[in-house]
Amino acid sequence: MRLTASDLACVRGGREVFSRLGFSAAAGEILAITGPNGVGKTSLLRTIAGLVRAAAGQVALEGGDPELTVPEQCHYLGHQDALKPSLSVLENLTFWAAYLGGGGGGGNADLAPAAALDAVGLKALADLPTAYLSAGQRRRLSIARLLAAKRPVWLLDEPTSALDVAAQARLVELLRDHLRGGGIVLAATHGPLGVETRELRMESTA
């Protein structure tokens, strides 16, 4: 499996964010997207996820499910947690697991919501209203979505944000498991992820 982009361009608010961008990431590989703030790292991930329309170019997933679009085979983990504060931790994850469903091959099999919570260290908080979670716990709950609905491509925007040292170490293990299962990871980051990566450096077009 291989995720490729060619001659990709993005325009937001009438401003060209990036253009003529290309990359390739193979199964079992992490591509670290780096560069200064405002250069378009988040816009790139959102374009691949289908949340922003590309102004030019194309993205393809070779070896993916031909019946699904590229966005349907991607998990996007952004800055917003998209959690209902009145629902419990387990109820939130159960909703997202049902909503997202599976998205093709690669990576490990879906985990039941309770098992996914255990994998991110939130099993003991399953019945707690999400409103009571700390920022780090909310981030870990968002990461649990990656495990509860199988998709081969993970698009992660500053995935270590709000995570303490122990939670970051747990994330490293989840990344390694995903890669061992043939998954692909693209991660916008300002710092090291704790795993071996290739770098895609983005520069300002201004």
Closest CA to 103 of 138, 51, 145, 133: 145
Which of 197, 163, 164, 171 minimizes the C-alpha distance to 30?
A: 197
Instruction: Specify the DSSP class assigned to residue 125.
Output: G
Contacts of 13 (CB under 8 A, 6+ apart): none
Domains present along the chain, CATH in parentheses: 2-201 (3.40.50.300)
d(CA 151, CA 108): 9
pLDDT digits (tens, 9 = 90+) for 165-178: 999 999 999 999 99
pLDDT score at 104: 54
User: Would you state the pLDDT for residue 88?
Assistant: 98
Distances in whole angstroms, Cα of residue 56 to Cα of each of 10, 17, 19, 126, 131? 7, 12, 8, 44, 41
| Residue length of the chain | 206
* Rounded mean pLDDT, 197-204: 90
**Strand ranges inside 112-152, DSSP E:** none
Q: Identify the pLDDT of residue 6.
A: 96
Would the pLDDT of 108 be above 70? no
Neighbours of 10 (CB within 10 A): 22
Q: Which amino acid is at 179?
A: L
Query: pTM for the whole thing?
Result: 0.93
pLDDT at 59: 97
pLDDT at 205: 67
Among 86, 179, 166, CA closest to 130: 86
The DSSP symbol for 128 reads: S
Per-residue pLDDT reduced to its tens digit, 27-47 = 999 999 999 988 999 999 999
The pLDDT of residue 130 is: 97
**Mean pLDDT for all residues in the chain:** 92
Q: Quick check: 149 pLDDT over 80?
A: yes
